[in-house]
Amino acid sequence: MHTNIDTHRIVSICEDTLETPNVKTLIFQDNLSFKAKPGQFLMVWIPGVEELPMSVMVSNTNDNAAITVKKYGIGSTALFQKKKGDVIGIRGPYGNYFRVSKKQKKVILIGGGTGLVPLMRLSVILNKMQISCTLIIGARSKPEILFYNFAKKILQNTKHKIIVTTEDGSFGIKGYPTDALIKILEHDKFDMAYTCGPELMMKKVYDISISYDLSLQASLERYMKCGVGICASCCINDKLVCTDGTVFNNKELKMMTDFGLIYRNKSGIKSHY
């Protein structure tokens, strides 16, 4: 029915799953989001509270889509509190997406926090294309690890390895996902790396990719108001994350002198990370 991706679609949540004590996945029926490509995002209206960009998560059933939200400030906390039967408004999916080519035989994914969401959608495709895949899941501690079992399931038909890093060492390797990445790159080669997570983590991934001559696609997150390229609140240097991105490659990232250093706050003032 809705052919216009831009006008709000009000959807009922038909399933909610607690992923960790602070992270919840909300599933709803929406054909347009069901077809979203990995890395694309929705603008999610939490009625009466806020509108927030959220990456499209994997859902298992046809015509369904999902988002996975981490409790944080006012907006995300209100969204986190939504449960089965509640309604939210969505528009999109917006933005470009992770590119996968048949020539890629072996890829590596580095995700931190809810940055793992687009990487899950990407994993579904890698699995289907039978591309060999190493996934690094970064978390602060064991209870915060996202999608460990889920990833195993959606990667089951392709050769894969899942590595978890925790900052406190309560599970998997102690340290940051970027530490794990360097270790792996010491003795292994990949056709492409994909990353999403906190910008500082992605900046490190980028720096590493340069050292190791690794092709990279990073999905950036910036403060977004419109999602459609008119307000510039999401800008990083001369690029708009919502329409030129969210996914940028090494070449583009190289030109972004603000990447990992400077963001704009709600007023549009440049601030340092």
Ligand X SMILES: Cc1cc2nc3c(=O)[nH]c(=O)nc-3n(C[C@H](O)[C@H](O)[C@H](O)COP(=O)(O)O)c2cc1C
By C-beta, is 15 or 50 nearer to ligand FAD?
Answer: 50
Residue 88 half-sphere exposure toward CB, CA atoms < 13 A? 34
124 or 230: whose CB is closer to ligand X?
Answer: 230
Alpha carbon separation from 239 to 56, 154, 236, 243 (Å, rounded) = 22, 33, 5, 8
State in angstroms the smallest separation of the CB of 176 from other proteins: 30
Residue 145: name the closest of 135, 155, 154 by CA: 135
Residue 234 interacting with ligand FES (CB under 6 A) = yes
- Cα separation, 220 vs 197, in Å, equals 8
Q: Which of 146, 185, 240, 256 binds ligand FES (CB under 6 A)?
A: 240
User: Least CB distance from residue 154 to ligand X, whole Å?
Assistant: 38
At 97, list the tokens. 């997406």
Q: Which is nearer to ligand FES, 123 or 246 (by Cβ)?
A: 246
Q: How far apart are CA 2 and CA 55, in angstroms?
A: 20
Q: In angstroms, give the least distance from the CB of 170 to other proteins.
A: 35
Cis peptide leading into residue 198 (ω within 30°)? no
Phi first, then psi, for residue 125 (nearest 5°) are: -70, -40
Residue 111: CB minimum distance to ligand FAD, A: 11
Residue 198 sits at the vertex; the CA angle it makes with 196 and 201, to the nearest 5 degrees, is 85
199-211 vs 177-187: helix crossing angle, rounded to 10: 20
Partner from ligand FAD, ligand X, other proteins, none contacting 45, C-beta within 5 to 8 A by type: other proteins
The region of 73-81, 145-153, 160-168, 202-210 touching ligand FAD under the rule CB under 6 A is 73-81
The piece of 45-53, 83-91, 103-111, 167-175 that touches ligand FAD (CB under 6 A) is 45-53
Helix (H) or strand (E) run with residue 136 in it:
strand 132-139
Q: Any idea what the Cα angle at residue 66 is, between residues 60 and 38, rounded to 5°?
A: 85
Query: Quick one: 21 or 48, whose CB is closer to other proteins?
Result: 48
Q: How far is the CB of 71 from ligand FAD (least distance, A)?
A: 8
Cβ proximity to ligand FAD: between 27 and 52 the closer is 52
- Beta bridge partners, 69, equal 24
Given a contact cutoff of 8 angstroms between Cβ atoms, the answer to whether 43 and 94 are in contact is: yes
Of other proteins, ligand X, ligand FAD, none, which one sits near residue 54, judging by CB under 5 to 8 A according to partner kind?
ligand FAD
Binder of ligand X out of 124, 230, 232, 255 (CB under 6 A): 230
Regarding 41 and contact with ligand FAD (CB under 6 A), the answer is: yes
CB of 138 to ligand FAD, least distance (A): 15
Contact partner at residue 129 from ligand FES, ligand X, ligand FAD, none, CB < 5 to 8 Å by partner kind: none
Residues that bind ligand X (CB under 6 A): 230-231
